[in-house]
Structure 1
Amino acid sequence: MSELLDRGAARTTWIRSRMPLLAATRRDFAERRPFAGRRVGMSLHVEPKTAVLLEVLAAGGAEVVATGNHGSTQDDIVAYLRSLGMTVFGRRNDTLAEHEANVAAVVDARPDIVLDNGADLVAGIVAADATRHVIGGTEETTSGGIRLRTELAGRVPFPTIVINDSPLKAIGENRHGVGQSVVESIMRITNLMIPGRRFVVAGYGWCGRGIAQYLRAFGGRVAVAEIDEIKAFEAALDGYRVDDLRNLAEWGEFFITATGHPGIVTEEVFDRMPSGAVLANAGHFPWEIDTAALAARAVAVTELDTAIERVDLPDGRELILLAGGRMVNLAGREPKGNSLEAMDLGFLLQSLSLERVATDAGSLAPGAQPVPDDLEREIARRFVRAMGADR
Structure 2
Amino acid sequence: MSTAEQQSTQPSSTDLAEKGAARVEWIRSRMPLLAAMREEFAERQPFAGRRIGMSLHIEPKTAVLLETLQAGGAEIVSTGNHGSTQDDVVAFLLGQGMTVFGSRDDTLEQHHLNLAGVLDAAPDMLLDNGGDLAAGIVARGATASILGGTEETTSGGDRLRSELAGVIPFPVIVINDSLLKAIGENKHAVGQSVVESFMRITNLMVPGRRFVVVGYGWCGRGVAHYLRALGGKVAVVEVDELKAFEAALDGFRVSTAVDVAPWGDVFITATGHADVLTMDAIERMHDGAVLANCGHFPWEIDVAGLRAAAVASREIDDAIERLDFADGRHVILLAGGRMFNLAGREPKGNSLESMDLGFLLQTLSLERVATAAASLAPGAQPVPDDIDRTIARRMLATMHAAE
**Shorter-normalised TM-score: what interval?**
over 0.9
Q: Which amino acid aligns with 2:54?
A: M
1:230 aligns with 2:242: yes
* Aligned with residue 227 of structure 2, among 215, 224, 239: 215
* Aligned with residue 176 of structure 2, among 164, 168, 183: 164
Q: Which amino acid aligns with 2:369?
A: V
Q: Which amino acid aligns with 1:192?
A: L
* Cα distance in 2, alignment partners of residues 110 and 329 from structure 1: 32
Aligned to 1:354: 366
Q: Secondary structure at the match of 1:336?
A: coil
Poorly superposed stretches of 4+, deviation over 6 Å: none
Q: Report the Cα offset of residue 314 of structure 1.
A: 1.0
* Cα distance in 2, alignment partners of residues 66 and 380 from structure 1: 28
Q: How does 1:97-112 map to 2 (within 5 A)?
A: 97-112=109-124
Q: Which amino acid aligns with 2:162?
A: T
1:140 aligns with 2:148: no
Q: Report the Cα offset of residue 110 of structure 1.
A: 1.1
* Cα distance in 2, alignment partners of residues 240 and 260 from structure 1: 21
* Cα distance in 2, alignment partners of residues 315 and 80 from structure 1: 49
Q: How does 1:1-391 map to 2 (within 5 A)?
A: 1-391=13-403
* Cα distance in 1, alignment partners of residues 36 and 179 from structure 2: 22
* Cα distance in 2, alignment partners of residues 229 and 143 from structure 1: 20
Scaled by the length of structure 2, the TM-score of the pair is 0.97
1:149–1:368 Cα contact (<8 Å) kept = yes
* Percent identical residues: 72
Q: Which amino acid aligns with 1:249?
A: A
Aligned CA-pair RMSD: 0.5
1:142-187: CA deviations, max 9, x gaps?
1001110011111111000000000000000000010000010010
1:228-283: CA deviations, max 9, x gaps?
00000000000000011110101000000000000011110111100100000000
1:311-367: CA deviations, max 9, x gaps?
001111000000000001000000000000000000000000000000111110000
1:110–1:130 Cα contact (<8 Å) kept = no
1:202–1:257 Cα contact (<8 Å) kept = yes
* Cα distance in 1, alignment partners of residues 137 and 264 from structure 2: 42
Q: Report the Cα offset of residue 2 of structure 1.
A: 1.1
Q: Which amino acid aligns with 2:123?
A: P
* Cα distance in 2, alignment partners of residues 372 and 305 from structure 1: 44
Scaled by the length of structure 1, the TM-score of the pair is 1.00
Give unmatched runs, 5+ long, in structure 2: 1-12
Q: Report the Cα offset of residue 130 of structure 1.
A: 1.1
Give unmatched runs, 5+ long, in structure 1: none
